[in-house]
Structure 1
Amino acid sequence: MYRNPWLRLREDAVVRDDGSAGVYAVIEKPHFAVVLAAERDGFWLVEQFRHPVGRRTWEFPQGTWPDGGSGSAEELARAELAEETGLRAGTLEHLGHLDLAPGLSTQEFDVWLATDLTPGPTAREATEADMVTAFVPATELRTMIGDGRFSDGPSLAAYALHLLARPEPGRGRRPGGELTSPPGRAAHPGHSGAWRPATKG
Structure 2
Amino acid sequence: MELDHLAVAGETLDAAVAHIEEALGVEMLPGGKHDHFGTYNRLLGLGGGLYLEAIAIDPEAEKPGQARWFDLDRFSGGPRLQNWICRVTDMDAALAGLDVDAGVPVALRRGDLRWRMAVPGSGVLPFDNCFPALIQWDVAVTPAELLAPSGCSLRRLEVAHPQAASLRAAVALDDARVVFVEGESALRAAFDTPHGVRVLA
Q: What TM-score does the superposition give when structure 2 sets the normalisation length? A: 0.25
Q: What TM-score does the superposition give when structure 1 sets the normalisation length? A: 0.25
Say which structure, 1 or 2, has more relative contact order (CA 8 Å, 6+ apart): 1
> Which of the two has higher C-alpha Rg?
1
